[in-house]
Amino acid sequence: MNPQEILDKLPYGKSFLFVDELLHVDENGAKGTYTYAKDLPFYEGHFKNRPLTPAVILTETMAQIGLVCLGIYLLKNMETDQNIAIAMTSNAIDFLKPVTPEEKVTVTSEKIYFRFNKLSCKVKMENAAGEMVCKGNISGMLISKENE
């Protein structure tokens, strides 16, 4: 399964997709990028006169690249006519630097375990300067379900 096939299987609409490019994915982890456009709606109110990317959006970006893309890859041997349903079950993230509009980030994940359709990953996000923005662990349930 190539990166574009994985991106095509992501279950998010354009307004909530936080993956621009999937650089690498294998059975041990994933790496991808996203650039936060300056016109994203949450910047209008977070914060007045100094827009910053909310921590929940940073977490979601790490989950989409580091957990969901990896999970789709790991489930690649299931029937091709099925969709993947993903539910984040837990996360523990340390936030180290702010992320501003138009900033490009790179997310890297390393699989901790994948069993009984529960995937747990160590994730990190770096800015374009290679500085650590945030890091931690994210876990989720990955369920293959038939199209409705």
The first and second tokens of residue 47, run together, are 């914060």
| Number of structural domains found in the chain | 1
Strands lying side by side in the sheet with 21-26 = 21-26, 29-35, 104-115, 118-127, 132-146, 82-95
The first and second tokens of residue 80, run together, are 């091709």
Q: Indicate which CATH number applies to the domain containing 66.
A: 3.10.129.10
DSSP structure class, residue 8: H
Side-chain-side CA neighbours of residue 70 (13 Å): 32
Backbone phi and psi for residue 128, each to the nearest 5 degrees, phi listed first: -65, -25
Name the one residue in this structure whose structure tokens are 């079950």.
Answer: 89
Residue 2: predicted pLDDT? 92
Global confidence as pTM: 0.92
Structural domain span for residue 101: 3-146
Name the one residue in this structure whose structure tokens are 């993903």.
Answer: 86
- Residue among 92, 89, 114 nearest 28 (CA): 114
- Going residue by residue through the chain, which has 148 residues, state the pLDDT in tens, using 9 for 90 and above: 899 999 998 989 999 999 999 999 999 999 999 999 999 999 999 998 899 999 999 999 999 999 999 999 998 866 544 566 778 899 999 999 999 999 999 999 999 999 988 999 999 999 999 999 999 999 999 776 654 4
